[in-house]
A and B are shown apart, each in its own frame.
Chain A
Amino acid sequence: MNESFVHKWKSQVKKGTLAFIVLNVLKGNEFYGYELIEEVKKYTAIEIAEGTLYPLMNRLKKEELVTSKWVEQTSGIPRKYYSLTASGTKTLKEMSAYWEELEISIKKITK
């Protein structure tokens, strides 16, 4: 087995699906940054630096798939809550449909 090739491929797949995972985690939920990362980690071992999630959230926000709001805390250190927009929900549906298609073809081809 070519280990380094598999390793690289895995990290590419992970990178490519991170936005899809994040959007799914946010489906019907509202999470602040740290919490969101914890949720993502429940489902997948992100080997990339956790901090990379913030630029990703910024991109999703610019694409108007998610929206965010700062909520003041008694600690004086506010939390930024993220949630899906209507367009985000629709986009996610589209992405899920594609994912299912892909899954079917992969299953067929790997048989």
Chain B
Amino acid sequence: MKPIAFQESASKKIYDSYIKRIKRTTSTLPKEDRNEVLLEFNSHIYEGMQRNSDPSEVDAILAILQKLGEPEDVLKPLIAKKKLLQATRTFNPLHIAKALVLNIANGVSYVFFAFLYILLFGFGYIIVEKIRRPEEVGLFFVDGQFETLGTMGDYPRDGRIMEVLGNWFIPVMVLVTVALFVLITLLLRMKQRFIK
């Protein structure tokens, strides 16, 4: 992007700070999209300055930027959608988490997805706990009935309470986590296809 030249340092400062805010707002987007947004806003500001009749350059740039709006607000829809698209394309969990946070305001269904996602971290946590306290964490059955998946503090080892997965606990949990993650991503992808 070719920066716009200004006569006064004050107007240049205002312009630079606005550009910086655009860059910060779009920092999570792929490079190509970031550049596109930047070029487009830069062009808008430049064309606005060309048409300016205000003798004060500072007033002119302020007026243009004020009419354009706050980058954080104006660019929100773009960021949320793009992020979601990128997230489901790459299977990157960090991207998906960010996309969900950005999209929560866009509908109840994203709250559901966020819930599934938090569940995902629950499984991750349980695996860590199993490593820390192998005796107390597991899939427990009491008298042959499912009791809990998680921790069972100090329980009497009288054979009534059984941990059923044993050494299989971690592999099974890893499998469940991965399956849930793939499911969330595929559901998100489907949702996007049907509701554009």
Contacts and interface: CB of A to CB of B under 8 A. Distances in A.
Interface of A: 32-35, 37, 48-52, 54-55, 58-59, 62-63, 70, 75-80
B48 to A, nearest CB: 6
A52 B41 CA distance: 11
A77 B40 CA distance: 10
B177 interface: no
Interface string B94-135: 000000000000000000000000000000000000000000
| Interface bracket on B | 20 to 34
B78 A75 contact: no
Instruction: Give the most central of B42, B43, B68, B77: most A CB within 10 Å.
Output: B43
B69 A80 contact: no
A55 B75 contact: yes
A49 B67 contact: yes
Interface of B: 2, 4, 37, 39-44, 46-48, 67-71, 73-78, 81, 196
Contacts of B78: 54-55, 58
Given A63-B196, A77-B2, A77-B4, A52 B43 contact: no
B37 A80 contact: no
Contacts of B2: 76-77
B173 to A, nearest CB: 39
Instruction: Give the most central of B47, B73, B76: most A CB within 10 Å.
Output: B47
B68 A33 contact: no
B68 A51 contact: yes
Determine chain B's interface SS by DSSP, over half rule. Answer: helix
Given A77-B4, A80-B43, A51 B69 contact: yes
B141 to A, nearest CB: 51
Contacts of A59: 77, 81
A90 B75 CA distance: 29
Contact of B47 (A35, A48, A55, A58): A35
A77 B37 contact: no
Contact of B69 (A33, A50, A58): A50
19 contacts: A33-B40, A34-B43, A35-B47, A48-B69, A49-B67, A50-B44, A50-B67, A51-B41, A51-B69, A54-B44, A55-B74, A55-B75, A55-B77, A62-B196, A70-B39, A77-B4, A77-B42, A78-B39, A80-B43
A46 to B, nearest CB: 10
B74 A54 contact: yes
Given A75-B46, A77-B43, A49 B70 contact: yes
